[in-house]
Amino acid sequence: MKHLFEPYRPGEMVHSQRVLNTPSDFAKRALFYVQEVGYLKSLKSHQSQRTNLNSYLILLVLSGKGAFTYEDEIYQLKANDYVYINCMNSYTHQSDASNPWELLWVHFNGAAAFDYYQYYTNNCPTVVHIENPEPYSMILNQLIDITLKKEASWELLSSKLITDLLIHSIIKKNTDPSDKEESILHKLYEVKDYLEKNYQQKILLEDIAASFYVSKYHLCREYKKLFGITIIDHITTRRVTAAKELLRFSKNSISDIAITIGYPDASYFNKVFQKLEGMTASEYRKKW
């Protein structure tokens, strides 16, 4: 099997550990799975280039420096920098000659890998500087250990660890905003609270934007980046959730329920409900 993370020659590194893996059919269908995971501490400058790999790479710089090129943009990496890329795109990395780096990395893939990467890139940049790298390095070291040992249920555990790594990155970015982001972040949570309390009302994006003194375009873009859903879809799912409660725990007619949650037209409500749930409101009531 070809190494995804190009090997260093013996004289170019102090220490390295690399574990390759061939996933099971179940892992390919249902999980995130490790393709290669490893650690290295380089002794000399070394350059590696890859393209068109069906893989995703997460790389954490533990010490030293180096250059990383991805999609024609050059990043000067240093300790505590965290990289997440789609390896179908061309990338190059080279450790610094005077201060070679020490790295942890994992190449992985999975049925949801592409969609998850798209979600991540909507929220975070390619390179993120981490103040406390310990949670990330701990997960990557655990991945090395369980991939090496391959004990019972290890593929499930490695999938969980990869998921934890990605989720931790996104949550950390969204909960520790820069000063520049603080104001809009506060407004976005206020908008979310407003939608939760007023979903039954007729809500126009223009009115929300005006009420919170932000442009409609900026509001819509940042809301989706933070919560992973558009404002319109948030209103729709909140209404359908309220409808489910009334369908299960009240004897109200479907027409009355539609009006209660903000849809004066019962026929339109049924179309919306069926699109989200794959069944009509009447069918949902009977099944549940």
Q: 107-143, pLDDT tens digit by residue?
A: 999 999 999 999 888 878 999 999 889 999 999 999 9
- The answer on 56 and 133 residing in a single domain is yes
What pLDDT, on a 0 to 100 scale, did the predictor assign at position 2? 46
What pLDDT score was predicted for residue 246?
97
Bridge partner list, 211? none
For the chain, which ranges sit under pLDDT 50? 1-2, 8, 11, 13, 179
Are 181 and 164 members of one domain? no
Q: Are residues 223 and 271 in the same domain?
A: yes
Residue 57 has a pLDDT of 97
Tell me: do 170 and 190 sit in the same domain. no
What's the pLDDT at 176? 53
Q: Are residues 238 and 288 in the same domain?
A: yes
State both tokens at 214.
């932000």
4 occurs within a structural domain? no
Report pLDDT for 226.
Answer: 82
Based on the domain organization, do 192 and 218 belong to the same domain? yes
Q: Is the separation of the CB atoms in 92 and 47 below 8 Å?
A: yes
Q: Is 46 helix (H, G, I), strand (E, B) or coil?
A: coil
Write down the pLDDT at residue 1.
43
List all residues 6 or more positions away from 23 whose beta carbon is below 8 Å from its beta carbon. Answer: 31, 33, 34, 35, 155
Tell which of 126, 151, 175 closes a domain.
175
Q: What is the spatial distance between Cα 85 and Cα 141, in angstroms, rounded to a whole number?
A: 20
SS3 state of residue 108: strand
- Domain end, chosen from 175, 200, 221, is at 175
Q: Which domain holds residue 41?
A: 10-175
246-252-255 Cα angle (round to 5) = 95
On whether both 29 and 95 belong to a single domain, the answer is: yes
Is 151 found in the same domain as 107?
yes
Contacts of 52 (CB under 8 A, 6+ apart): 88, 90
| Residues 231, 208 contacting (CB under 8 angstroms) | yes
pLDDT the model gives residue 177: 52
Q: What is the CATH number of the domain that holds 154?
A: 2.60.120.280
Question: What pLDDT is recorded for position 173?
Answer: 56
